[in-house]
């Protein structure tokens, strides 16, 4: 089997990445081999992909061929890393294959120890990649070639905006962008609860809370308005917004958000 891409762990993240790459013709389905943990996941994974794409369970003898691909996407859960069996013989005659790791908290050093015959890159995408509106942080290992860098950028660009960072900034990047959708979801939920408490029907409140956040983010971004400027534009003297903002400040919402990001970055460093 002549492969262009091997995928180790074909779950939500790997599938979100692969969908546009197959649709755009960047990878031919018959040159991709994806490995999942269990046999029952094979059929589920194939539901949304062309039948030429090969998906096998890790116990299948074909699975070891994934290591012959020049580019390998590692998209298992970090705690499953020890289950991965690398081939003992070097199947690559020219150059080191590229390993793109999505594993949160697994450092380049640890990757290089586990995969000494690869060049490695860490990629930190966030969940909005599922809607092609993600952010991805990349930290390059020492031996990644220019050609491999271009290929990695092309893999993540269709679903996200890409940022190349020193590895030591990835924890802060992750604390904001990867954990961020959870903070935002909590805010949307709480704002909708407030609207229900104030008299709106639940479904409408959920929708409006969602659209308020999305619309505000779009406005700030498109018109390059600073958040404090927008806050001042909305809060008229003696009005409803300033009354609400006063309440938010008294409740310490601003410092709670600051501390949430700091604590998530600290936790990410601890886990690494």
- Cβ atoms 191, 209 nearer than 8 A: yes
Cβ(127)–Cβ(134) below 8 Å: yes
Q: In what order do the strands lie in the sheet with 71-74?
A: 54-57, 32-36, 5-8, 71-74, 98-101, 119-125, 134-140, 160-164
Collect all residues with Cβ–Cβ distance below 8 Å to 95 and sequence separation of at least 6.
Answer: 70, 145
Maximum distance among all Cα pairs of the chain, rounded to whole angstroms: 74
180 binds ligand NAP (CB under 6 A): no
Interacting residue with ligand NAP among 127, 148, 160, 206 (CB under 6 A): 127
Neighbours of 64 (CB within 10 A): 15
- Report the alpha-carbon distance of residue 215 to residue 200 in Å, rounded: 20
Rule CB under 6 A: choose which of 72, 107, 178, 206 binds ligand NAP: 178
Residue 67 tokens, joined: 């290591």
Q: Pick from 4, 26, 104, 260: which binds ligand NAP (CB under 6 A)?
A: 104
Among the listed residues 17, 21, 22, 36, the single contact to ligand NAP using CB under 6 A = 36
Q: Is 134 helix (H, G, I), strand (E, B) or coil?
A: strand
Cα 234 from Cα 211, distance rounded (Å): 17
Under rule CB under 6 A, residue 264 binds ligand NAP: no
Which is nearer to ligand NAP, 4 or 80 (by Cβ)? 80
Q: Binding mask 61-100 vs ligand NAP (x if CB under 6 A, - otherwise)?
A: --------------xxxx-x--xx----------------
Residue 13 in the binding site for ligand NAP (CB under 6 A): yes
Stretch that binds ligand NAP, among 7-15, 151-159, 208-216, 226-234 (CB under 6 A): 7-15
Burial of residue 197 (CB within 10 Å: 0-12, 13-18, 19+) is exposed
Selected binder of ligand NAP within 5, 10, 120, 268 (CB under 6 A)? 10
- Residue 90 DSSP class: -
In the complex with ligand NAP, the residue whose CB is nearer, 125 or 141, is 125
Q: What residues from 216 to 245 belong to the interface with ligand NAP (CB under 6 A)?
A: none
- Told to check if 111 binds ligand NAP by CB under 6 A, we report no
Looking at residue 175, what DSSP letter applies? I
* Binding of residue 41 to ligand NAP (CB under 6 A): yes
CB of 47 to ligand NAP, least distance (A): 13
Q: Does 9 bind ligand NAP (CB under 6 A)?
A: yes
**Closest-CB residue for ligand NAP?**
11
Q: Which residues bind ligand NAP (CB under 6 A)?
A: 8-14, 35-38, 41, 58, 75-78, 80, 83-84, 102-104, 124-127, 178
């Amino acid at each position: 089997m002549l492969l262009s891409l091997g995928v180790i762990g074909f779950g939500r993240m790997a599938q979100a990445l692969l969908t546009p790459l197959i649709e755009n013709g960047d990878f031919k389905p018959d040159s991709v081999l994806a490995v999942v943990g269990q046999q029952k996941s094979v059929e589920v994974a194939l539901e949304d992909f062309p039948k030429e794409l090969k998906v096998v369970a890790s116990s299948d003898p074909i699975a070891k061929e994934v290591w012959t691909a020049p580019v390998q996407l590692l998209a298992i859960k970090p705690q499953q890393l020890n289950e991965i069996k690398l081939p003992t013989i070097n199947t690559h005659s020219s150059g080191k294959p590229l390993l793109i790791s999505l594993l949160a908290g697994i450092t380049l050093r640890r990757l290089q120890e586990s995969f000494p015959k690869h060049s490695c890159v860490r990629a930190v995408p966030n969940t909005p990649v599922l809607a092609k509106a993600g952010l991805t942080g990349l930290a390059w290992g020492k031996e990644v070639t220019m050609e491999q860098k271009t290929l990695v950028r092309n893999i993540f660009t269709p679903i996200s905006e890409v940022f190349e960072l020193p590895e030591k900034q990835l924890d802060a990047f992750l604390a904001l962008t990867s954990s961020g959708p959870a903070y935002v979801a909590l805010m949307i939920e709480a704002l909708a609860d407030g609207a229900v408490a104030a008299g709106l029907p639940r479904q409408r409140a959920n929708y409006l809370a969602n659209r308020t956040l999305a619309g505000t983010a779009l406005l700030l971004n498109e018109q390059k308005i600073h958040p404090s400027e927008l806050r001042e534009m909305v809060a008229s003297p003696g009005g409803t917004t300033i009354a609400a903002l006063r309440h938010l400040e008294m409740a310490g919402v601003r410092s709670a958000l600051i501390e949430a990001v700091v604590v998530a970055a600290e936790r990410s460093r601890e886990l690494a």
